[in-house]
Structure 1
Amino acid sequence: MKTDTLNQYGELTGPGEVRFVRLLPGPIERVWTYLTDPEKRATWLAGGPMELRVGGRVELLFRHRNLSPDETPPEKYREAHEAGMTMEGRITAIEPPRLLSYTWEGEGPGDESEVRFELTPKGEQVQLLLTHRKLRRPQGVANVGGGWHLHLAFLAARLEGTTPPAFWARFAELEPEYRQRVEAQLAAK
């Protein structure tokens, strides 16, 4: 069953927090491996080792050229696209195959945030609830909102065996849309 993840926006659930809900092809153990196995995770987000225990080290190696080899990225993302970039974090909670949470490196000291994946079986499908919280800057919320939106579309495509969207072309549309959503949330305060 193909899901329409490209048009499902994340919800801004509070200051510095964005949440996504996706229904993915199961079973839950299969989705779990796409979150934790470095080779499978590299097909939709980032590779790298992950020590699957509380306090365990997480190394995310982003190589967007592997996700979208035929595209030219925006200049500010060229280095991450071509050479790749590494982020490090620590696992804050883990309950296989239902819960995985880890810290997410920010742009500077004190900018660390947290990503939480919760998986729930729904018949033959799996509901994924992703919450990225503790984002310190509005631009960070917009950036990770657009990024997670697109990376989750890649995850759904990998699980469905379909072709994912063009990464950078879609990101160029999503980033300003999430920026507008964040600005609207701030203006409503």
Structure 2
Amino acid sequence: MNANARPIEDAYATFSDTDTVRLQRTLPGPIERVWEHLTDASLRRQWLAGGDDVQPRAGTSFELVWRNDQLTDPPGARPEGFGDEHRMQSRVIECDPPHRLAFTWDGDSDVAIDLEPRGDEVLLTLVHRHLGNRNRVLMHSAGWHVHLDLLVDRASGRQPEPFWDGWAVAKAAYDARLPA
């Protein structure tokens, strides 16, 4: 990684209990632009996962489709255990455009993303709850960390680092930070 590469200390997730991850990032505004990166599948696929657009009302379903090898060029070295594509059905739990989006995750956990305008910038706060065990906390912390860094890079017009290389660095850092 180069000298400007993440993860940086203040970008790490915090853990409010044994199975909840909280991350924050500051993005260039306006808030409506950041909201579109969450809900528009063509924009979301540039930093997280494509699939379906998110309809802005509770109870609606959408699919997320990950193709992490396509997020950056080059993608970096994909770790063992990851395939070319992963699909997941989600359901909107709460939606208050353009401030809050909460949805189910993998059938047994949930994600809430809050956006708060801060002048010309937007503070994004992501909370992923009910992860269940240390390994899931570790994997999701590293994943969210790098995906959100990618969102910041894309929204800021910067060339991102190779996705998988960043994920490997973040995973090692979280492994050292999480209690055994």
How many residues of Structure 1 are paired with residues of Structure 2 in the alignment?
A: 173
In the alignment, does 2:112 pair up with 1:96? no
User: Within 5 A, what are the aligned runs for 1:32-181?
Assistant: 32-49=35-52, 50-70=54-74, 71-77=76-82, 79=83, 82=84, 84-105=85-106, 112-181=108-177
Give the distance between the partners of 1:62 and 1:98, measured in 2 at CA. 24
**What is the alpha-carbon root mean square deviation over aligned residues?**
1.6
TM-score (norm 1): 0.86
Deviates more, 1:173-182 or 1:154-163: 173-182
2:38 partner amino acid = L
CA contact (8 A) 1:41 1:47 kept: yes
For residues 39-86 of structure 1, the C-alpha deviation after alignment (integer angstroms, 9 at most, x for no partner) is 000000001112321011021000012113433311211x1xx2x110
The answer to which structure has the higher helix fraction is: 1
Hey, what does 1:28 align to over in structure 2?
Answer: 31
CA contact (8 A) 1:5 1:152 kept: no
TM-score (norm 2): 0.91
**Matched residue SS, 1:121:** strand
**Matched residue SS, 2:88:** strand
Structure 2 residue ranges without an equivalent (≥5): none
CA contact (8 A) 2:73 2:162 kept: no
What is the CA distance between 1:158 and its match in structure 2?
0.8
Give the distance between the partners of 1:147 and 1:167, measured in 2 at CA. 10
CA contact (8 A) 1:89 1:102 kept: yes
What is the CA distance between 1:150 and its match in structure 2?
0.3
Percent identity between the two aligned chains: 37
